[in-house]
């Protein structure tokens, strides 16, 4: 069972959805999904790209619109979601 927790910000919701997709669509573990580079396009026309994305991905994003590279830190423009995985029965 997986619980996805995101506060009300657009960035947090986007980040949580991307991390959930990494786990469900690409069979990543919770830890792998947390540390996987993400993008954010939740506000306006600027795309925020994690600095760890491959150059080919950044180039593709630049073809779509203005792209800014960001470092993932505590106060990063690329949010980190709160996710929790449970194993076994619940209740």
> Hey, which bits of the chain come out as E strands?
2-5, 39-40, 47-50, 67-70, 82-85
Encode pLDDT of 33-88 as tens digits: 888 898 888 777 889 899 999 999 999 999 999 999 988 765 555 555 555 555 55
Q: Where are the domains of the chain?
A: 2-85
Encode pLDDT of 5-20 as tens digits: 555 556 667 777 888 8
CATH class of 2-85: alpha beta
Separation between Cα atoms, residue 70 and residue 32, nearest integer Å: 19
């Amino acid at each position: 069972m997986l619980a996805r927790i995101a506060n009300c910000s657009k960035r947090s919701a986007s980040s949580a959805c991307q991390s959930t997709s990494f786990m469900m669509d690409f069979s990543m573990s919770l830890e792998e999904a947390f540390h996987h580079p993400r993008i954010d396009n939740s506000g306006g026309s600027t795309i925020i790209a994690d600095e760890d994305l491959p150059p080919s991905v950044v180039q593709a994003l630049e073809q779509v619109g203005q792209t800014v590279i960001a470092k993932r830190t505590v106060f990063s423009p690329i949010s980190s979601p709160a996710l929790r995985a449970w194993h076994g029965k619940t209740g």
